[in-house]
Structure 1
Amino acid sequence: MDSTESTEWLAGRFEENRRHLRAVAFRMLGSLSEADDAVQESWLRLSRQPDDRVEAIANLTAWLTTVVARVALEMLRTRRREESLESARVPEPIISPETGLDPEHEALLADSVGLALLVVLETLKPAERLAFVLHDMFAVPFEQIADIVDKSPAAARQLASRARRRVQGADAVPDPDLNRQKEVVRAFSAASRGGDFAALVAVLDPDVVLRADYGTLPAGLRLLRGAEAVAKQALMFGRFSVNAHPALVNGAPGRVTIVDGKPVAVMGFTVVEGRIKEIDILADPERLAVIDVTVFEA
Structure 2
Amino acid sequence: WLDQAESALAITAKLARIATLAVQQILRWAERDLARQHGAFPAGLLVVAYGSFGGGELGFGSDLDLVFLFDPALAEQPSQGPRALDGGRYLVRLSQRVLHWLATPTHAGALYPVDVRLRPDGAKGLLVSPLDAFRDYQLQRAWVWEHQALLRARAVAGPEPLATAFARVRREVLRQPREPLRVRQQVSQMRERWRHELDRSSASQFDLKQGRGGLVDIEFLLQGLVLINAAGQPALLDRVNTAELIAGCADAQLLSAAEAGCLQTAHADWLARSLDCTLNAQARVVARTAESDALATAVSVIIEHHGFAETPT
TM over 0.5, yes or no?
Answer: no
Q: TM-score, normalised by structure 2?
A: 0.30
How high is the TM-score relative to the length of structure 1? 0.31
